Amino acid sequence: MTPNTSHFQALVTAALSEDAADHDITGDATISAGQTGHAVTTAKETGVLSGVKAASMVFEAADVGIVQQWQCVDGAALKAGETVCELKGDMRALLAAERTALNFLQHLSGIASLTRQFVEAVADTGCAIVDTRKTTPGLRALEKQAVLHGGGVNHRMDLASGMLIKENHIEAAGSITKAVAACRAQGGKAWIEVECENLEEVAEAVVARPDIILLDNMSVEEVGRARDLVPGNIIVEASGGITLDIAHAYAGTGVDRLAVGEITHSAPALDLSMRVMRAA
């Protein structure tokens, strides 16, 4: 998922407005009008960078005269102490934009960093790490892009991007078989995925032939047995409380991918800082 420029712009505008960046009373009181500054953004810990475009647009919106020199690109592996970006320009504008820019960078880099950890944990299995719709309202496009920067794979972007039949849909339709048939009758090119919670449901789903079978909240042993029931032409995905320490065990069962909500809804922010100094 790659957000378009207008989407970025809307988010940046809203974020700066939320922070009253055009009315920084502390900056106005302590910094002389026209004072120029030099800012350095630094990684305080190891991780993966994401959010460069959003942060860049924040500084541009604050003052088009700010000169930005990015030393790292999205997806880059960062080391503690590494310089991410250097900026020069109006000191008031730099400080007014600082927190909003860092909020984007730290949050999105945190997602990219945690995703990379999951990807590396299962690297020898051939299993992919995919995201979910458990995202921050309004930030889904950026968060899913951060997953890509971390080496993960995007699942459906929204409810119109694919048909994911869950327990409530099965209840409403009457059975997995009826739910798959109803989705198939709907027509269109959207893929069909069925969530299964036990081996009996997996067996029924195999006969119904969806594109993807999701094994939800099963133990590693159950996932392994379920994997053996599904033919190779159906993608198998596992989800439900899969943490970093058990991801490899789940991936080792032979499933094609692990859906991990944690990478977007619970990723800790990556520690980045920005120091602004008066120009000589």
**Burial class of residue 137 in the structure, from the number of CB atoms within 10 Å of its CB (0-12 exposed, 13-18 middle, 19+ buried):** exposed
User: What is residue 11's three-state secondary structure?
Assistant: helix
What interhelical angle do 140-149 and 5-18 show, nearest 10?
110
Q: Measured between alpha carbons, how far is residue 41 from residues 105, 201, 272 in Å?
A: 10, 52, 7
- Residues identified as active-site: 99, 134, 166, 195, 216
Q: Which residues pair with 130 in a beta bridge?
A: 153, 259
d(CA 122, CA 113): 15
The helix, strand and coil proportions of the chain, stated in percent and rounded to the nearest 5, come to 45, 20, 35
Burial class of residue 71 (count of CB atoms within 10 Å of its CB; 0-12, 13-18, 19+):
middle
Alpha helix (H) residue ranges in the chain: 5-18, 25-30, 52-62, 91-121, 140-149, 167-173, 176-185, 199-208, 220-229, 247-251, 262-265
Question: Cβ(23)–Cβ(255) under 8 Å?
Answer: no
